[in-house]
Amino acid sequence: MPSVVQTRRTAPILTVLAMLALSSTSLAAQRAGVAQRDTMQKPEATEVWKPVPKVVTPGATNADAPSDAIVLFNGKNADEWVTASSGAPAGWKVADGVLTVVKTAGDIKTKRSFNNYQLHLEWRVPENITGSGQARGNSGVYLAWTGDGGYELQVLDSYKNETYVNGQAGSMYKQYPPLVNAMRPPGQWQTYDVVWTAPTFKADGSLDTPGYVTAFHNGILVQDHVALRGTTEYIGAPKYKAHGASPILLQAHGDPSPAISYRNIWVRELPK
């Protein structure tokens, strides 16, 4: 009897030991799996530490040039600009920290050429503005001037001044109306903040990727990453012609209304 009892006792113990061995094996496997999942789920697994973004010191206000900006007009002179048609010194008037269009002197363009960039500029329609529609404070910022055309962000007095909407202030001329009319009244300064992604072209000159524009007028989004269909044309459809880095151009429009002014123009080059 004692031996039977012992056998009976031994068998369950062996079984338990075997089960324990088995379960410890599967437990180890489970733990390994859990550990692996834990590694994936740790916050560190999705952290990126390099490359470290370079430090850029902001201006005193968001309208002031940050430390990595190229200042294109600081109120003192128009040395960064030339007459677009001739390359002669820019003939616009600089006085009281302001650059005012001289319509007879023609468009001016930057001496430098740019690909992608962030641009800030300020413009003011004079308080004594006259005219209506497109003949009221017309100018424009060509985000890239390719020699015989470009991509115009319209400048116009659009404060209670009706015109075709894809030609009002904040429009990408005849391609995209602004999302809203963010115009301040004549006599007050307006701001434009623009992100320009230049179009790219294939070796055969055909379009690879279109130009894109994001623009804020007085801090309000008016163009939301719109894809241009080509240069902005007064007459006819937009079209692309291959070009590389290009100057920025300010338009001396021939409308008979009093000339508008610009100030505080700076640009930050962005990677291609």
Interacting residue ranges for Mg ion, rule: CB under 5 A: 138, 140, 251
Residue 116 CB contacts under 8 Å (≥ 6 apart), including other chains: 196, 197, 198, 269, 270, 271, 272
Task: Give me the least distance between CB of 196 and Mg ion, in Å please.
Answer: 17
> For residues 137 and 199, which CB has a smaller minimum distance to Mg ion in the complex?
137
Tell the smallest beta-carbon distance from residue 217 to Mg ion (Å): 14
Q: What is the largest CA-CA distance in the chain?
A: 125
Quote the least distance from Cβ 153 to Mg ion, whole Å: 9
Alpha helix (H) residue ranges in the chain: 2-41
Q: Which is nearer to Mg ion, 175 or 251 (CB)?
A: 251
Shortest reach from residue 127's CB to Mg ion, in Å = 20
Please give the C-alpha separations between residue 177 and each of 154, 196, 225, 242, 248, in angstroms, as whole numbers.
10, 17, 13, 25, 21
Residue pair 259/102 in contact (Cβ under 8 Å)? The answer is yes
The alpha carbon torsion through 38, 42, 45, 47 (nearest 10 deg) reads 180
Judged by CB, which is closer to Mg ion: 41, or 85? 85
Looking at beta carbons only, is 106 or 140 nearer to Mg ion? 140
**Cβ burial 157-192 (10 Å sphere, 16+ → b, else e):** bbbebebeeebbbbbbbbbbbbeebbbeebeebbbb
Closest distance of CB 134 from Mg ion, Å: 8
- Cβ-closest position to Mg ion: 140
Nearest-approach distance from CB 68 to Mg ion, in angstroms: 30
Nearer CB in complex with Mg ion: 69/169:
169
Give the amino acid at 77: N
Nearer Cβ to Mg ion (109/268): 109
Burial class (CB in 10 A: 0-12, 13-18, 19+), 20: exposed
